[in-house]
Amino acid sequence: MTNSSDKRRHPRRPTMFSPGALDAHSSGGVDPAEVSEIAHESAAVLVGAGRATEDPDVTRRLVRLVDELGMATVAQLWGAQPPVSLPGALWRLYAIHESVRRDAVGAAIDYDLGRHYADVQHAVAGAAEPPSPDGLRELVDSILSGVFEGDLAVALERAAAFCRVTSIGRAHRADDHDGHDEPGASAATRSAAALLGTAHDLERAAAAWRVGNLT
């Protein structure tokens, strides 16, 4: 008989995460319903495996999933799914995580500006003060870890709060560019608006998880 503790320590990654398999599906003109089924099943397996283990090394691997699969594969797997769905929520969390890892300095500047106008959201996000690039990397690591180690709804709400604070800071940076760097101001404004939309999606996903409707 299989020892249940062994299952907890060694959750298996689903075979549908294979980049080669995903490419084959894509090139074969797979039915959108099948793509959706793969996305939902893989998201459920990933979260279930992460929450079934107490091994911190497994959690770290799941947090660093993009390092193993690549952002393009994660996007192909989950990026087209509805915002209020488990794969859609995971896609947003991993996208936030990766954006901070790629530009932690810029994220820290925007977040630091925004926190002065959003005390409550800053407290919900749980960032250190003053925000620093390393501090924000640790923040997004802890948010994503919370998907597997804590209350998933709380992780989604923390990510939403992070997006709201960063959006406010980015909007202020757009105002600073306005009048002398129109392309930069426009890009920052669009990005700030997109972050607000992401925050709203994550809040709706958190509410759905709390009532058992996030699948």
pLDDT above 80 for 58: yes
- With b for 16 or more beta-carbon neighbours within 10 A and e for fewer, the 94-129 pattern comes to bbbbbbbbeebebbbbbbbbbbeebeebbebbebee
**For the chain, what is the mean pLDDT?**
86
Q: Which residue has the higher pLDDT, 76 or 181?
A: 76
Task: Give residue 30's domain range.
Answer: 4-210
Q: Per the structure, how many domains does the chain have?
A: 1
Q: What is the pLDDT of residues 25-42, one digit of tens each?
A: 444 456 788 989 999 999
Residues 76/36, Cβ–Cβ less than 8 Å: no
Residues 97/138, Cβ–Cβ less than 8 Å: no
Position 29 in a domain: yes
Backbone angles phi and psi of 19, in degrees to 5:
-60, -40
Position 185 in a domain: yes
Position 155 in a domain: yes
Angstrom distance (rounded) from CA 192 to CA 108: 14
Give every CB contact of residue 132 below 8 A, 6+ residues apart in sequence.
Answer: 108
Position 215 in a domain: no
Angstrom distance (rounded) from CA 77 to CA 82: 12
pLDDT score of 60: 94
Angstrom distance (rounded) from CA 147 to CA 205: 13
pLDDT confidence of 178, banded at 50, 70, 90?
low
* Mean pLDDT for the stretch of residues 204-211: 98
pLDDT score of 213: 96
DSSP track, 40-69:
HHHHHHHHHHHHH---HHHHHHHHTHHHHH
Q: What is the pTM of this model?
A: 0.84
- Grouping H, G, I as helix, E, B as strand and the rest as coil, residue 151 is coil
pLDDT score of 179: 61
Position 67 in a domain: yes
pLDDT score of 163: 97
Q: Which amino acid would we find at residue 202? A: L
Give every CB contact of residue 30 below 8 A, 6+ residues apart in sequence.
Answer: none
Please state, for a pLDDT cut of 70, what percent of the chain lies above it. 85
Q: What is the pLDDT of residues 124-148, one digit of tens each?
A: 999 988 899 999 999 999 999 999 9
pLDDT score of 149: 93
Residues 205/81, Cβ–Cβ less than 8 Å: no
